[in-house]
Amino acid sequence: MRLRVAVIIVLVTWCLAACADSPPPIGAHLPGVFREASDSFDRRVKTRFPIGSDERVLRQELAKQKFVISRTAESPFSFSARYTANELVCRAHWDIRWSMFGGKIESIGTGFGETCL
């Protein structure tokens, strides 16, 4: 009986863990404290895609990492990308907003957040 209960617990735990999404590579392994994670994500994105760099490279990398990219309604030169991961009891999201001109990144900013039960 104990063995059966232990096996059921292991299977349920494994199934729940398998349902959790992974963070995107650019948002992986952030610090555990929310403010530090947000700042770290911002630095990581701005280092990887600095102002003046090729906007196509940014789009290609975000698409490869499964971010959903959309044009901002206020400007034909402004865009945003969001990646959402459903975890066991939380939903995390990574946001990147940028504007471009002449194929170059003109400004870039980020957001990171979690909503938990």
The pLDDT, as a whole number, for residue 11 is 43
As given in the structure block, the two tokens for residue 107 are 């400004």
The pLDDT, as a whole number, for residue 74 is 80
Residues in the chain: 117
What are the domain boundaries of the chain? 21-116
Taken in order 28, 29, 30, 32, the sign of the CA dihedral is: positive
Tens-digit pLDDT profile for the chain (117 aa)?
676 655 455 444 444 444 568 899 999 999 888 889 999 999 999 999 999 999 999 999 999 999 999 998 788 789 999 999 998 888 999 999 999 999 999 999 999 998 888
The pLDDT, as a whole number, for residue 69 is 97
The pLDDT, as a whole number, for residue 89 is 86
Closest CA to 110 of 77, 67, 52: 67
CA pair distance 83, 96, nearest whole angstrom: 9
- Check if the beta carbon of residue 80 is closer than 8 Å to that of residue 95: yes
The CATH number for 21-116, chosen from 3.30.160, 2.30.29, 3.60.21, 3.30.450, is 3.30.160
- Check if the beta carbon of residue 103 is closer than 8 Å to that of residue 55: yes
